[in-house]
Amino acid sequence: MLRGTLDLLILQTLTLGPNHGLGISRRIGQITQGAFDVRAGSLFPALHRLEERGWLSSYWGDSENNRKARYYEMTAAGRKQLRAETDNWDRVALAITRALKAT
């Protein structure tokens, strides 16, 4: 996975509303149609990093089957970051696609 891609995917996932670790992992699987299988070992460090940067906030809540779980939620700074990252991603993707087609 490209560097920074995971952050982008997590932020994108959370635009649909707060979710816990496993939920985020599953939703990334769904929206990328199984292309990315995010394991705990990379997911949690990323979540904590994003939280420390102020793009996510977290709270303890009850899951669908009544288990205590830690939920992550996008902050205003996170939304801004996502827009910036998305624009950036589009530019890079476009540039790379062009470059690959040109040769």
Partner 1 sequence: MGILRRLVCTTRNLVRGTRIDRDLDHELRAYVDLLADEKIASGMPPPQARREARVESGGLEQVKEQVRVVRSGALVEQFVQDLTYGLRVLRRNPSFTLVAVCTLAIGLGATAAIFSVVNSVLLRPLPYAAPDSLFRVENMHYTGEFVELQRRGQSFDVAAYLTREATITGDGEPQRVAAASVSPNLMPLLGVTAVRGRALEDGDERASNGAVVVISHEFWRSRFGGDPGVLGRLVTLDGTSRTIVGVMPRDFDFPTPATQLWTPAVVDLNNRIALWSSSRHIIGRLRPGATFPLADAEVRTIAPLMRALFPWGMPADYGQNASLIPLKHALVADVRPLLTLLLAAVATVLLIACVNVSNLLVARTLARQRELAIRASLGAARGRILRQVLTEGALLVLCGLVLGVPVAYGGMDLLATSLPADMPRSVTLALDGRLLAFAAAALATCALIVGVFPALRAAQVDLVPRMAEGERMGQSRRTRWTSNLLVGTQMALAVMLVVSAVLLARTLANLHAVSTGFAVEQVVSARISPPQFRFPNAAARRDLYSQVLERAASAPNVVSAAVTDRLPLGGETYGSVFSIEGRPDPARTGEWPIADVSAIVSPAFFSTLGMPVQTGRTFTADDAETSQRVAVISESLANKYWPGESPIGRRFGFPGDGNRLRTIVGVVADVKWERVTDKLRTALYVPIAQAEPAAMRVVIRTTAGPSAAQEHIRSIVRGIDRDTPVDRPRAMADLVATAVEGPRFAALLVAAFAVAGLLLGAIGIYGTVSDHVAQRRREIGVRIALGAQKADVFRAMLGGTMTVVAAGTVAGLAGAAVITRLFASMLFEIAPTDPVTFALAVGILAATAVLAGYLPARRASRVDPLSALRVG
What residue ranges bind partner 1 (CB under 8 A)? 20-22, 39-41, 44-46, 48-49, 52-54, 63, 65, 67-70
Match 């394991």 to its residue by tokens: 39
Closer to partner 1 by CB, 8 or 46: give it: 46
The CB-of-89 to partner 1 minimum distance in angstroms stands at 20
Distance between CA 55 and CA 47 in Å, rounded?
10
What residues are paired with 57 via a beta bridge? Answer: 73
The two three-digit tokens of residue 62, written as one number: 């009850």
Q: Are 99 and 32 in contact (CB under 8 A)?
A: no
The CB-of-49 to partner 1 minimum distance in angstroms stands at 5
Closer to partner 1 by CB, 45 or 94: give it: 45
Distance between CA 46 and CA 96 in Å, rounded?
26
Closer to partner 1 by CB, 53 or 90: give it: 53
The CB-of-39 to partner 1 minimum distance in angstroms stands at 6
